[in-house]
Structure 1
Amino acid sequence: MEKKGSITVFLALVLSILLSLVSASLQSVQAAATRTQILNGMDIGLYSLFGQYDRSLLRDYDLFFLDGTQGGTELNLAAVYDNLESYIKPVLKQNGRKLRIKQGGFTGYRLATDQNGEVFYHQAVSYMKDTLGSQGVQVLLKRMKEKEEKTKKAEEDGKSTENGETLKNYDSEMNNAFNKSKEAEENAKTEETKKDDGNNGADFESGDAEDEFSDGESNNAKNPIPAIKKIRTMSILDLVVPPAKGISDVQISTKDFVSKRNIQKGMSMPGEATEDSSQSSQLLFQKYLTDRLGNYQKPASSGLQYQQEYILGADDNDRSNLRIVANRLIMIREGINAAYLMSDPAKRAQMHALALGIASAFLVPPAAFIIEGALLLCWAFAESVLDVRELFHGGKVPIVKSAATWQVSLESIPHLLENLDSQRKTNENGMSYEDYLQVLLMTKSKKEKLDRGMDMIEVSIREKKGRDSFRLDCCIEAIEASVDVSSSRKKVFNVTRQYSYI
């Protein structure tokens, strides 16, 4: 009996231990299943929430962002969280578990404009990398680098040509000649102005020399400098823009632009975007902008029509931004054309002969060098007007001129306005207006392109129906959410999950 009793007690003890293990295992499995169900609920909730991305941003700009206003006018995180919770709750009710959210919220979130726009920048650059591939990026980088170097030097040469006070020196010499002529007349005390037969006389008005003079070989020629001086006082847009196409008069208020207002900030969370200032990334971002923003040749349908020009000019109206671009193009072409004139012996000989003729006609032979410099500037400017006019007409202009691609003759400069369209010609191997825009954009800093690019995207979305209060600093790129969920056993589970479009 004692032996049987001891066996019963032993089995009872072993069974109680086994039951405890089974019970603990069941509780552990149940807890794991509960946690898994909560995690699934969070994942499904975040996926469903971020599936409500802004359709306009995706369709027009290939960007994924969640509208943080949830249909309102201001960033509304409470509404965003309620939306998330509405997707979590049905999952928690599955399998007959009595799971209930006690509390929850966002422990971090990133907005498109966070980190000085780096979030927006990263998404645009990532899209371009996926689209072009590594090989396409390298080809684009090489091509743009070559064009940038040539046009940058040309613009510097153009500024140097303009800043040399060439025309001021010319005016000074002509005025001196005029004053000497008057002094001689007073000393001679003659009653009538001696008529010149074309060899040694000149009339002046307001400091400008008369156009006509003799070239020393009894052939009448014309001084083109006064004509160009008058043309240079005209509006550059009147000279280069096709009258039939016209110019946009759109003007908008910039006070509520991303680059002008105080923007909202997100809440720090792990995995923040690191600053990327590499040349390849900047070039990809610029390509992104030029592919999606309007310009003079392909105007945007909303907001400012010349959006790429806005990045260069930063003014509130299309006309002003276009004028800034036109002036820069004239400067670039003037540098290129002046360099060619200096390198062409035949054209230098023409300018030298003409300068000597003008100097002799005005009895100021020592001024021939200054006159020749003025002729070079005027000839380069006249050629540049035709170049830029061709660009605005949709044609192409060679980066470097040759005798075959040169358009304006020295004799035709005084009649430039009469032959603006008959003299200009395109060159299929040259650069178009949009090519020049890309090169000009490379002179702008990353911050300028980023801020002004966001300005244009934001204002374009605002003109869509029902989107007049759209703001990029209300667009969410990533969220970190945390919830406390209670079970039927009054145990509370805390779960934290992240989701990001990148």
Structure 2
Amino acid sequence: MRRKASITVFAALSLMLVAQLLFTLLEAARHYELQKVLYMNTDTVLESVFADYCSPLWETYKILGVRVDDTEGKLCFNNREAQLRGLTLDHLGSKEQKTLLSGMSLLTAEMTDARYDPYRLLTDQNGVVFQKAVCTYMKKNIAYEMAKSVYNHYEAVKEVKKDYKNPDEGIADAMDALKHPKKYETEGAGNSSSRQLKGEARQGDKTKKEDSGEKATPTENPLETVTEVKKEGVLSLVLPENTKVSGKSISIEETVSHRSLEKGTMDSYVGTDWYQKVLFYQYLVNYLGNYVEKKQDRVLEYELEYVLGGKRNDADNLKIVVSELLAMREPLNMASLTASSQRQSEAMALAVTLAGVSANPAVIEAVKYGILVAWAFAESVLDVRTLLSGGKITMIKSDADWTSNVHMIPELLSGWSVAKDCSQGLDYGQYAAILLLFHKGNTLAMRTMDVEEAYVQTQEGYENFQMDHVLCETELTATYEFQPVFLGFVSILENFSNGFRIQNHSGYSYFHGKEGM
């Protein structure tokens, strides 16, 4: 049975308006949901880009960074922008799918523009950003107490150095006193002070002869010995005769520390404090090769020595570090000598012997001080020999830790004697960490990037790698476009064809992650 149905024009118009309202609300809901999806997509694809870090740099040196260069090795963000658009296409499809019947997702959009700005490069601020990258890693891998201990050692060395400046002058003054004793005639050679000094010297000689059971023999002048030794090559003094020193070198003209670098556009970081400095220097000791812990696969075997010396070859850099170690140990050994009454007496006895029977106290005191300086140097040479052989030396030596004899300085320096290995002392790397604290952090950071860049360039696919093309922090502005889906059923907007455009902002930093941006 058929029944006729009818609808008024008003009702038809009402249904059409209701339908259009529903479709408009659906499109609004889709638009609102798509905004959230696009915001999450911006964060996700940016983090995906930062997950594509330079593997050799991380695996070898624990530095995170994204390469932003083109095939010619020039700074360029095009590849990374294309990577963002490609990832978005995988996540959200393409606006070319326009109909529901095609089975497309309702949450479809296309990233039409992506801009990294501002951004920060690893070499920015003359090495400050690189130090920040190192500290971010090291804070999670070194205890605060250990860092404080290293800094305390540095402070101790600095304090001792204040009291023993220009040790070479002490030897020179002693030599001058022996050659020109008349300059020191403020006190008579025959007065009571002179007789007292000679008596102390004779008593010291007597005690020494009784202890050794030997007759007194003419003593070589340690002042002359040390003066002559210091004219020789420092490596021949601290290394065995047949030691093979690395012959590797680096071309420094195009290194990070010598060439003109690309600059990032982010605001500058503030300088580093003592804690960050210690973290950075301990990182250098832990991850760079050095004479004691060589890295055969590196461009330079003595990377740490390069950071300290800045010369193009391993041998020259090792010379610089050895010289600095000797200069560090001398005042520390002088502190040990002045704290020992026994060794003070031995130095005084030798000073009287060298100065002669007619010497006055002023000459003897000058010679005694020169002998102490020469003795400290000789002990320092033995210390460095021990350090280079992998041993440990305590900061301020006790009588039990002391090795050399003032009467055997020529034999000790010409032979191959080494200082006593101190189980509670510091090794070569720990002394190097203290040395680093006496240098400018920015200079050391730039040189560190020299050796790290050189190493990465030896890896396949990274021949054009440059540290100033490494991104470590940025803010991203992403523009999306998408077409309406439900508005096609709304006759009022039948000519709507421009689509929608949304712009999102995000940021990422290896130092702070997403939360810190």
Q: TM-score, normalised by structure 2?
A: 0.78
**Cα offset, 1:303, TM superposition:** 2.3
Partner residue in 2 for 1:222 = 219
Partner residue in 2 for 1:92 = 93
Q: Distance in 1 between matches of 2:307 and 2:253?
A: 16
Q: Distance in 2 between matches of 1:353 and 1:35?
A: 90
**Cα offset, 1:439, TM superposition:** 0.9
What one-letter code is carried by the residue in structure 1 that aligns with 2:150?
M
**Cα offset, 1:264, TM superposition:** 0.9
C-alpha change, 1:458 and 1:29, in structure 2 (3 Å) is same
What one-letter code is carried by the residue in structure 1 that aligns with 2:304?
Q
Q: Is the 8 A contact 1:241 1:389 kept in 2?
A: yes
- Where in structure 2 are the equivalents of 1:248-327 lying within 5 Å? 248-268=246-266, 274-275=269-270, 277-300=272-295, 301-327=297-323
Secondary structure in 1 matching 2:337: helix
Q: Distance in 2 between matches of 1:116 and 1:498?
A: 27
**Cα offset, 1:384, TM superposition:** 1.4
Q: TM-score, normalised by structure 1?
A: 0.80
- Where in structure 2 are the equivalents of 1:450-489 lying within 5 Å? 450-479=445-474, 480-487=476-483, 489=497
- Where in structure 2 are the equivalents of 1:24-423 lying within 5 Å? 24-36=24-36, 38-39=38-39, 41-69=41-69, 72-90=72-90, 91-93=92-94, 94-95=104-105, 99-100=109-110, 102-132=112-142, 136-137=143-144, 139-162=145-168, 165-176=169-180, 219-224=216-221, 225-268=223-266, 274-275=269-270, 277-300=272-295, 301-360=297-356, 364-365=359-360, 367-421=363-417
Secondary structure in 2 matching 1:22: helix
C-alpha change, 1:70 and 1:87, in structure 2 (3 Å) is farther
**Cα offset, 1:436, TM superposition:** 0.5
Q: Is the 8 A contact 1:249 1:317 kept in 2?
A: yes
Q: Is the 8 A contact 2:172 2:370 kept in 1?
A: no
What one-letter code is carried by the residue in structure 1 that aligns with 2:217?
N
**Cα offset, 1:99, TM superposition:** 4.6
Answer yes or no: is 1:493 the counterpart of 2:488: no
Secondary structure in 2 matching 1:420: coil
C-alpha change, 1:402 and 1:122, in structure 2 (3 Å) is closer
C-alpha change, 1:259 and 1:486, in structure 2 (3 Å) is same
Q: Is the 8 A contact 2:45 2:88 kept in 1?
A: yes
Q: Is the 8 A contact 2:480 2:503 kept in 1?
A: yes
**Cα offset, 1:157, TM superposition:** 4.0
Could you give the per-residue CA deviations for residues 473-500 of structure 1, whole angstroms, max 9, x where no partner exists?
1112234142242426421313334342
Answer yes or no: is 1:424 the counterpart of 2:419: yes
Could you give the per-residue CA deviations for residues 172-209 of structure 1, whole angstroms, max 9, x where no partner exists?
3444479xxxxxxxxxxxxxxxxxxxxxxxxxxxxxxx
Q: Is the 8 A contact 1:157 1:336 kept in 2?
A: no
Count of residue pairs the alignment pairs up: 449
What one-letter code is carried by the residue in structure 2 that aligns with 1:428?
S
Could you give the per-residue CA deviations for residues 337-380 of structure 1, whole angstroms, max 9, x where no partner exists?
2222222222222222222222226x545632322222222222
Q: Distance in 2 between matches of 1:407 and 1:49?
A: 58
**Cα offset, 1:388, TM superposition:** 1.2
What one-letter code is carried by the residue in structure 1 that aligns with 2:220?
N
Could you give the per-residue CA deviations for residues 221-248 of structure 1, whole angstroms, max 9, x where no partner exists?
2132322222222111111123454322
Secondary structure in 2 matching 1:95: coil
Q: Distance in 2 between matches of 1:344 and 1:125?
A: 41
Could you give the per-residue CA deviations for residues 285-344 of structure 1, whole angstroms, max 9, x where no partner exists?
222222111111112331222222222222222222222221122122211222222222
C-alpha change, 1:264 and 1:237, in structure 2 (3 Å) is same
C-alpha change, 1:97 and 1:345, in structure 2 (3 Å) is closer
What one-letter code is carried by the residue in structure 2 that aligns with 1:239?
L
Secondary structure in 2 matching 1:406: coil
Answer yes or no: is 1:446 the counterpart of 2:441: yes
Secondary structure in 1 matching 2:333: helix
C-alpha change, 1:153 and 1:248, in structure 2 (3 Å) is farther
**Cα offset, 1:251, TM superposition:** 2.2
Q: Is the 8 A contact 2:128 2:442 kept in 1?
A: no
C-alpha change, 1:92 and 1:493, in structure 2 (3 Å) is farther
Which stretch of the first structure deviates more once superposed, 481-490 or 224-233?
481-490
Q: Distance in 1 between matches of 2:41 and 2:346?
A: 84
- Any stretches of 5+ residues in structure 2 without a counterpart? 1-6, 95-103, 183-204, 210-214, 485-496
Q: Is the 8 A contact 2:69 2:76 kept in 1?
A: yes
Q: Distance in 2 between matches of 1:238 and 1:424?
A: 17
Q: Is the 8 A contact 1:254 1:316 kept in 2?
A: yes
Partner residue in 2 for 1:209 = none
Q: Is the 8 A contact 2:248 2:313 kept in 1?
A: yes
Could you give the per-residue CA deviations for residues 249-273 of structure 1, whole angstroms, max 9, x where no partner exists?
22222222222222112344xxx67
Q: Is the 8 A contact 1:81 1:105 kept in 2?
A: yes
Q: Distance in 1 between matches of 2:107 and 2:340?
A: 90
Q: Distance in 2 between matches of 1:172 and 1:282?
A: 43
CA RMSD of aligned residues (A): 3.0
C-alpha change, 1:291 and 1:273, in structure 2 (3 Å) is farther
Secondary structure in 2 matching 1:265: coil
| Percent of paired sites with the same residue | 27
Q: Distance in 1 between matches of 2:437 and 2:505?
A: 40
C-alpha change, 1:235 and 1:104, in structure 2 (3 Å) is closer
Q: Is the 8 A contact 2:84 2:114 kept in 1?
A: no
Secondary structure in 2 matching 1:248: coil
Q: Distance in 1 between matches of 2:218 and 2:49?
A: 78
Q: Is the 8 A contact 2:30 2:107 kept in 1?
A: no
Which stretch of the first structure deviates more once superposed, 93-102 or 68-77?
93-102
Q: Is the 8 A contact 2:118 2:264 kept in 1?
A: yes
**Cα offset, 1:116, TM superposition:** 3.8
Q: Is the 8 A contact 2:175 2:367 kept in 1?
A: no
Q: Is the 8 A contact 1:158 1:331 kept in 2?
A: no
Partner residue in 2 for 1:4 = none
